[in-house]
Structure 1
Amino acid sequence: MSNLLDKDLIVLHSNALHYSDVFKELGQTMIDKGFANASYIEGLLERESNFPTGIPTETIGIALPHTDASFVKESKIGLLVLENPVKFGIMGGDGEETDVKIVFLLGCSEGNQHLQALQKVIELIQDANFIEKIMSLESKDEAYELLNNNLTIQLEEEVK
């Protein structure tokens, strides 16, 4: 499996004011680096409006935006940590919203791959210690190492 991480898809201290700003910030990097096609951001926006991705946790709201695999050329996971919370609709909710501070962008190029990535990230975000580490990250290198170590552990456990 190719590396799902790219330091250019890690944004700490984002000043985005709306989820569409988050999608533009991470989505444009996906497009610019050739990981997604030109309509990727529109795909994210359309999917989010129909199937919200916000998840309220005990400590902080997290969003896991993704879109159809046809928009993605190379699978990647992005991380964006917000300075101030942004409202996202709650996944599986009925119009309710949650204040999100951490966004994991799941860019998956194969149909069922997003489900596997979603499952792995959901396992990670249930760990309050992991969330605390994300909120205290100070550099892209530190973020890359944290994600790489935790996603690798998840993959190794899956192989056993």
Structure 2
Amino acid sequence: MEISNMLSNKLIFLNENFDSTSELFDFVGTKTKELDLSYDDYAVNLKKREENFPTALEFNDIGVAIPHADSKSLKKEFISLITLDKPLIFRAMENPDKEVKVKIVFVLGLLKANDQLETLQAIVKLLQKENALEHLNHANNVKEVVNIVNEL
């Protein structure tokens, strides 16, 4: 699963501000619905999934979240990438009691469950590349983000 093939320029949002993860998920739900990629319940299902199965990871002191919801909320596959001007608190994937200040969010809209692991591995591979997170975090435009992702 190539991230670059799934990442739509229309779903890359840079230096966004949200007061909560709920607000972020509502934003993504609205944008994906406008693009006819998801159904009305997508944001609600993202929130439920994140509450039960946290998705935050830390790489070199930069928090990254990779939320996703069941495919029943989706019409088409996508990946959305959002960088945050100010961090949002997510719970850690490996320890739900731990809070992670997240600056980069990859929202996965995958139709097949078996694609999730492969896509997560590809994202983690990208995040482990030296300076990739710093470059994503400081990207000023969509073209920069696409170039970073394409370097995989």
Same fold (TM over 0.5): yes
Q: How far did 1:134 drift? A: 0.4
Q: Please report the TM-score for the alignment, with normalisation by the length of structure 1.
A: 0.87
Where do 5+ consecutive residues of structure 2 fail to align?
none
Aligned to 2:48: 46
How many residues in Structure 1 have an aligned counterpart in Structure 2? Answer: 150
Q: How far did 1:92 drift? A: 2.8
Q: Which ranges of 4 or more aligned residues in structure 1 deviate by more than 6 Å?
A: none
Mapped contact 1:107–1:114 kept (Cα < 8 A): no
Residues 18 and 128 (structure 1), Cα distance of their counterparts in 2 relative to 1, 3 Å cut:
farther
Q: How far did 1:107 drift? A: 0.7
Q: Please report the TM-score for the alignment, with normalisation by the length of structure 2.
A: 0.91
2:99 maps to 1:91: no
Mapped contact 1:77–1:106 kept (Cα < 8 A): yes
Percent of matched pairs sharing the same residue: 33
Mapped contact 1:54–1:91 kept (Cα < 8 A): yes
Aligned to 1:135: 137
Aligned to 1:117: 119
The counterpart of 2:33, out of the listed 18, 31, 45, is 31
Mapped contact 1:81–1:101 kept (Cα < 8 A): yes
Where do 5+ consecutive residues of structure 1 fail to align?
154-160
Point out the more displaced range, 26-35 or 76-85: 26-35
Q: Kindly provide the amino acid, as one letter, of the partner of residue 13 in structure 1.
A: N
* Partner secondary structure for residue 113 of structure 2: coil
The separation in 1 between residues aligned to 2:27 and 2:147, in whole angstroms, is 21
